[in-house]
Amino acid sequence: MIFDYPTLKLIWWLLVGVLLIGFAIMDGHDMGVGTLLPFVGRNDEERRVIINTVGPHWDGNQVWFITGGGAIFAAWPLVYATAFSGFYWAMLAVLWALFFRPVGFDYRSKIHHAGWRRTWDWGLFVGGAVPPLIFGVAFGNLLQGVPFHFDANLVPYYTGSFFGLLNPFALLTGVVGSAMLTFHGAIYLAHRTEGEIQRRALRAALIFGVLMLAGFSAAGLWLAYGDFGYVLVTAPDPAALPNPLTKSAVHAAGAWLANYGRQPATLALPALAYAGGLAALALAARRRTLAAFVASALALTGVIGTAGVSMFPFVLPSSTVPGASLTVWDAVSSQRTLSIMFWATLIFMPLIIAYTGWAYRVMAGKVTAAYIREHEHSAY
């Protein structure tokens, strides 16, 4: 093994972040397009154009979501088990919403009936709009701390309620999550379409881009002046086997901003969120849609990276027993597991990126109403 245990723990914190960002960029623009579908498309033909911009890619992009969930399960088993205890109904809501995507894409155009197609259009809307909202709410609860603790056998106990997750700050971060993926999807849609659909997509990009930046700013101010944050009093040994009960931590208002003072270079992440968002808006206004898409991807990277860096080394803080909080150092799998996963990731992630890039290159170009009419039986 080339890397020691503490280094592998840090590497996997970074890799999980990369997978979450990859999911937001790749599957996120599919979900954003689904969210906009009933509103940007004014008739059946326009909606078929919109669906065909993401139809060939959406299932491949969902690999990022599956891989991210699998990586959390394998690299951070305690986080996975504890989070699903607390967010069980929320995760089920995500799963139920995602059910509409495969059947919506496959069944929507099978029957030439207006009511049938409208139903699946709204199903695709649910599959695109609900997951980002819930993921944003989940991040808001992570930043506040989740009410859980462990017994002596490390069995997690969640002491909150489902409706307790729907607090004002979490709803704000839910808006940020929803807005940033809808913004990203609107720019992608503008890049793949033309005419009136493109104009509507650009208007949607302006609305949701401004909403994302405003919500991100409001959440940052709330973190700065609100009663949020945790600090380690006695840190776990980074080289020790994972045991979250070997440390102590306390709640400390404003602690989530401390990392930026200790490591000023991390300020590049919130700066990237603003710079990428503003650049995407400016480029989209000039109809430089490919560059705008890259800029919005950088904005998403900045937003998600800001949340991760703010909480480091915490991954899942406990609001009821802060000492039971899960951190980068004490929520992980064994050194052998992390090492095997690292080499597997090193081999397969470049292959996934290369294949995805090839697929987008092959199916690049505008999707038009003429294309839909010419491919009536093969298009979505």
Q: pLDDT tens-digit profile of 330-348?
A: 989 999 999 999 999 999 8
pLDDT at 245 > cutoff 90: no
Residues 6+ apart with CB under 8 A from 27: 58, 61, 62, 64, 65
pLDDT at 301 > cutoff 70: yes
Helix (H, G, I), strand (E, B) or coil at 148: strand
Closest alpha carbon to 16 in 321, 376, 315: 315
Question: In the predicted model, what is the mean pLDDT of residues 66-81?
Answer: 91
Give the model's pLDDT for residue 186: 98
pLDDT-derived band at 376, boundaries 50, 70, 90: confident
| 226-230, 237-241, 275-279: the lowest-pLDDT one | 237-241
Strand partners, 327: 314
Please tell me which residue, 110 or 131, carries the higher pLDDT value: 131
Give the model's pLDDT for residue 1: 56
Mean pLDDT of the chain: 93
- Residue 123: both structure tokens together: 């199903």
What is the Cα–Cα distance from 64 to 27, expressed in whole angstroms? 7
Question: In the predicted model, what is the mean pLDDT of residues 357-379?
Answer: 84
In this structure, the strands spanning 248-251 and 230-234 are antiparallel
Helix (H, G, I), strand (E, B) or coil at 228: coil
